[in-house]
Homo-oligomer: A and B are copies of this chain.
Amino acid sequence: MLSSQDVLFKALADPTRRAIFERLCRNGDQTVAALTVHAGVSQPAVSKHLGVLKQAGLVRDRHEGRQTHYCAQPRALAPLISWTSQMAGFWQSRFDDLEDLLKRMDQ
């Protein structure tokens, strides 16, 4: 079983891929050619990265004639945010428990 966090973290672990996603978030709709210009890698590489991002639900594609436009789906970041806040939450709650314990000891 591979969790949704796993897919997201793996998809965003690569710098090139993260840069592509970032660009789509900043500047909105982009064709593959436009993304390739700034990616620093070949067009097939960009296509592969877009495939991974699409599998992770981070982008959507739209065909328009012979071009393919991609756009970001930041909503897909939700599980990631959820996980991080959960981690921070666990830590906080353990801290609260300790504080609680200290208070009870104080009485």
Which residue numbers of A lie inside 8 Å of B, CB to CB? Answer: 2-3, 5-6, 9-10, 12-13, 15, 18, 21-22, 25-26, 28, 72, 74, 77, 80-81, 84-85, 87-88, 90-91, 94
Contact = CB atoms under 8 A, between A and B. Distances in A.
Number of copies: 2
Given A77-B84, A80-B84, A84-B80, A90 B9 contact: no
Contacts of A10: 13
B13 A87 contact: no
A90 to B, nearest CB: 4
A36 to B, nearest CB: 21
A88 B15 CA distance: 18
Given A9-B12, A13-B13, A15-B6, A77 B72 contact: no
